[in-house]
Amino acid sequence: MNFELNQEQQQLADSVKRMIEKDYDFETRKKVVASAQGHSPAAWATFAELGLLGLPLSEESGGFGGGAVDLIAIMEAIGTGLVLEPYLSTVGLAGRLIDRHGSPAMKAGVLPAVVDGRCKLALAHYEAGGRFSNTAVALPAWREGNGYVIQGGKVAVIDAPLADQLLVSARTSGKAGDAGGISLFLVDAKAPGVSMKTYRTQDSLRGAEVSFDKVALSAESLVGAEGQGLAMLEEALDFAGALLCAEAVGAMKYACDTTLEYLKTRKQFGQNIGAFQALQHRMVDMCISTEQARSITYLACAKVGPDTPAAERSRTVAAARVKVADACRHVGQEAIQLHGGMGMTLEMKVSHTFKRLTMISQAFGDADYHLERFTAAA
């Protein structure tokens, strides 16, 4: 498999890397974390100016029609810089799903605003007690007049406090656990009846528990066909899962680089600790884990296109998520160990990288969940 970026991809990657190094360094990130907004409007505007917000969207929607492979370099840069902006939620997950399955009116009303940076999106899918199951949707939606009404709650909605619109999974027929009967709705985050209990996650993102109290929706808020949302969700989550792997690779690359630099400068017993063979071996193992994760990430990103059969896509992404989760644990823990006690302090970026790697390994399903998916598809 070719791991080399083409000229356009390399230019885009260089632009994103320069922007993050210049305008989103670690000190700037700490200020963003402490802010009431929880993200940087200036950085989001720059993302829009660079065309990043439209990259995976179709040309008809104002995007560039890119695929997951085109987003790898961007996600790696986001992982390296520990960027807090809701890029994956808005563009790689909810935005792309709307682009593929929304009505022409919905796409015309939402996606140009996404591309311009005026609209942020979040997926409200998981429910209490459902773990990572995509069929454990119990929140009811019923027809009323010419539209729908939804009632219930969602948990662990990442980026919900930043979102202007929520993509909500609801059950229009059947019971929790059934594959059929799941529908997707686009809901205004400030609509009457929508409330949030917000919080900061361990990796400094913003999340919320979202409640819907008899929220009235128009018929035009339905995404795709009624009761056919599961297949759309699974495809979108696989695409987002592959991009998460790329973000993890970027974070692991930073962990390796900063740990290597520390081994070259920290002195013990009159010499740099990097001179000790045992630490050299551990450093090499970290780099091997990162490159193995990079390899399977490229494979997963190549397999999440619309032309790949669902079973093959699901199996490949599940394998990647398992391997990358194992690499996240290994690289993150070794980075902390080789830094010593100071690696746990909030003043060190590597400690925040470890937190982000830990959260990535749990997002959209942990390693055990994806191992079960892989086994079931074998």
DSSP string, 29-87: HHHHHHSSSSS-HHHHHHHHHTTGGGTTS-GGGTS----HHHHHHHHHHHHHHT--S-H
199 and 236: one domain? no
Considering the domain boundaries, does residue 1 fall inside one? Answer: no
Considering the domain boundaries, does residue 2 fall inside one? Answer: no
Sequence-distant (≥ 6) Cβ neighbours of residue 49 within 8 angstroms: none
113 and 139: one domain? no
186 and 236: one domain? no
Q: Which helix (H) or strand (E) holds 168?
A: strand 165-171
DSSP character for 220?
G
User: Is residue 25 within 8 Å of residue 326, measured between CB atoms?
Assistant: no
List the chain pLDDT tens, one digit each, 378 residues: 566 777 777 788 888 889 999 999 999 999 999 999 999 999 999 999 999 999 999 999 999 999 999 999 999 999 999 999 999 999 999 999 999 999 999 999 999 999 999 999 999 999 999 889 999 999 999 999 999 999 999 999 999 999 999 999 999 999 999 999 999 999 999 999 999 999 999 999 999 999 999 999 999 999 999 999 999 999 999 999 999 999 999 999 999 999 999 999 987 887 887 778 999 999 999 999 999 999 999 999 999 998 999 999 999 999 999 999 999 999 999 999 999 988 999 999 999 999 999 999 999 999 999 999 999 887
Single residue among 205, 227, 249 that ends a domain in this structure = 227
157 and 101: one domain? no
Q: Which two tokens stand for residue 33?
A: 């974390």
Q: Which two tokens stand for residue 170?
A: 């609801």
Domains of the chain: total: 3
Q: How far apart are CA 331 and CA 324, in angstroms?
A: 10
Considering the domain boundaries, does residue 86 fall inside one? Answer: yes
111 and 44: one domain? yes
Q: Which two tokens stand for residue 166?
A: 């929520």
Q: Which helix (H) or strand (E) holds 242?
A: helix 229-265
Q: How far apart are CA 76 and CA 254, in angstroms?
A: 10
Q: How far apart are CA 101 and CA 167, in angstroms?
A: 12
pTM of the predicted protein model = 0.96
CB neighbours of residue 376 within 10 Å: 11
Q: How far apart are CA 115 and CA 119, in angstroms?
A: 8
Single residue among 84, 118, 152 that ends a domain in this structure = 118
Q: How far apart are CA 97 and CA 125, in angstroms?
A: 13
Domain range for 137 is: 122-227
Rounded to 5 degrees, φ, ψ at 317 are -65, -40
Q: How far apart are CA 104 and CA 224, in angstroms?
A: 11
Per-residue pLDDT at 3:
63
Per-residue pLDDT at 274:
79
3-state class (DSSP) for residue 153:
strand
CATH number, domain containing residue 141: 2.40.110.10
Per-residue pLDDT at 9:
76
DSSP character for 119?
-
Single residue among 204, 227, 250 that ends a domain in this structure = 227
189 and 270: one domain? no
Per-residue pLDDT at 139:
97
Radius of gyration of the chain measured on its C-alpha atoms: 21
Considering the domain boundaries, does residue 94 fall inside one? Answer: yes
Length of the chain, in residues: 378
